[in-house]
Amino acid sequence: MAYKAKIKVTLRPSILDVQGKAAQHALSNLGYSSVESVRIGKYMEVTIEESSASDAERVCTEICQKLLSNPIMEDFTFELEPVN
């Protein structure tokens, strides 16, 4: 069975988000003074072919830890949904 993993990777709260700060500054310059902060991350969709949701979850966790995120600076979350 195939599962779609919707993966979000974000910088840890303790890490300065330079891109987010630049976006916040640009938004302020555009007149959006109510925007207090911006954090920028990554979003990925990965299709995983496994026999069970638990196996797909294990694979997703492994690929996030080994390739899709930097475990020193980033956190990741994901949702799995069956693909028909």
Tell me: the pLDDT tens digits for 5-52?
Answer: 999 999 999 999 999 999 999 999 999 999 999 999 999 999 999 999
Taking the complete model, does pTM exceed 0.85, yes or no? yes
| Predicted local confidence at residue 84, as pLDDT | 79
Element (H, E) at 51: none
Which domains does the chain show, CATH number per domain?
A: 2-83 (3.30.1280.10)
